[in-house]
Amino acid sequence: MLIKKAVDIRSSEITPESVYRQRRSLIKALVAGGALAAAGPALALGRYDLSEDAKRYPGPDWLQGKLRAAKADDGIPNEPLTPYPHVTGHNNFYEFGLDKQDPKAKAQGLVTDPWSVEVAGEAAKTGRYNLEDLLKPHALEERIYRMRCVEGWSMVIPWVGLPLADLIKRLEPTANAKYVEFTTLHDPAQMPGQRGFFSTLDWPYVEGLRMDEARHPLTLLAVGVYGDALPPQNGAPFRLVVPWKYGFKSIKSIVRIRFTEQMPAVTWNQTAPNEYGFYANVNPNVDHPRWSQATERRLPSSLFSPNIIDTRMFNGYADEVAHLYSGMDLRKWF
Ligand SMILES: Nc1nc2c(c(=O)[nH]1)N[C@H]1C(S)=C(S)[C@@H](COP(=O)(O)O)O[C@H]1N2
Ligand SMILES: [Mo]
C-alpha cells in the first residue's frame, strides 16, 4: 500500500463523472432486467459458480468436514460476489512482495498444516496450540462481507470462519485485557518479502483490536473462502476479517494472539502514523493525506468499466458498529 511516495491512484482509475453516471444507469438496467439478480444474493456453500479456471484449496483433512458443515450466509442484496480469481489473485500480503500478483505467485509453498498458535498475555488459557485443537470445538459459518482496502479498491468476499468472540470466550481473558494483538508468521525462508534489503516493513506484521471490537459479532477468524480452505495468498491457515475497517487490519497467517492492557503497537500505524491510525475504520469523510476516501473501485473493474462506487461510513456496517465509537472524534482516532 503505500511506502511508494508515488501517486498511488493512476489517472486511469479516476473516473469522469459521465462514465460514472453511465455505469450507474447500466447497473440499474441490469438489475431491473434481472440479469444481476442471479449473480447476487442467496449464494450458499456448495452453490458457488466454480467454473472459473482457478486452483482450489481443499485444506487439511481435519478442516474439510468443518467447511462442508458451515452454515450459509444469504449475501448482500444487490452486491454480487467478487469472482474467485480476483479474490485469490489480487492480494496485499507484503511478506510475499509488494505487487498485487506477488502473493499468488510466491506464496504457494507456504506450509500451513500443521500450524502452531501461541496464546499469550492477559488470559487464563495461554500456551501453544495446534490450530486443529484450537478450532476443534467451533462450528464454522459463511460470512459474505465487503472488504475495503485503504488504497481505494474493494471486493465482496464469501469467507468461512468463526466469530472471534467464540474463541476469546474459551481463552478466558482476564479483567486486565483491554486489547488483543495478533502477529503474522515471521519466516524469511518462506516469505521472500521479509528477506534482505528491500524489506519494507518492520516484521513481523502486527495488528490489534480493542476488546469490544474483537468481541463484536461481525469480527471473524476466517479459515476459508468460497467454501474451500484459504489459499496461502489470502492468509492461510487463518486470518482476521474485520469488515468495517480498512483491509490492513485484517491480518493474515496468524501465529500469536496476545491479550494486553496497553494498545498494541501495530504495523501500519508504526510505519506511517499520520497516514494509518490504530482504529482504521472505513470513513468516507476522513481522507488519507494523499488521496480521497470518498469513493472506491469495486473489483472486478477495468479501464472501460471502472465500477467506482461511493464508500460508506464503516463500510456499510454503521448500524452494527457505530455505537462502539460514540463520543470519539473519528478525525482524531482515524
Ligand atoms: N500479514 C499481513 N496481513 C495483511 C497484509 C499484509 O501485507 N501482511 N495486507 C493487508 C491489506 S493492506 C489488505 S487490503 C488485506 C488483503 O486481503 P486479501 O488479499 O485476502 O484480499 O490483507 C491485510 N492483511
Ligand atoms: Mo489494504
* Cis amide leading into 114 (omega within 30): yes
In the reported structure, the alpha carbon of residue 40 is separated from the centroid of ligand 2 by a whole-number distance in angstroms of: 24
- Stretch 124-138: mean pLDDT: 98
Q: What's the domain count of the chain?
A: 1
Is 115 near ligand 1, meaning CB less than 6 Å away? no
Tell whether the model's pLDDT for residue 156 goes beyond 90. Answer: yes
Report yes or no on 2 lying in a domain.
Answer: no
* Ligand approaching nearest to the C-alpha of 252: 1
Q: Whose CA is nearest to atom 4 of ligand 1?
A: 251
Atom of ligand 1 at shortest distance to CA of 246?
Answer: 14
330 belongs to a structural domain: no
Confidence category of residue 197, pLDDT binned at 50, 70, 90: low
Domain with 321 in it: what CATH number? Answer: 3.90.420.10
Q: Is residue 8 part of a domain?
A: no
Kindly state whether residue 334 falls inside one of the protein's structural domains.
no
Closest C-alpha residue for ligand 1 atom 8: 93
pTM summary value: 0.88
Residues at Cβ < 5 Å from ligand 2 ion: 92, 149, 247-248
Residue 290 is predicted with a pLDDT of 96
Say if 5 falls within a structural domain.
Answer: no
Bridge partners, residue 110, by sequence: none
Range of the domain at 292: 17-325
- Summarize the confidence of residues 162-187 as an average pLDDT: 98
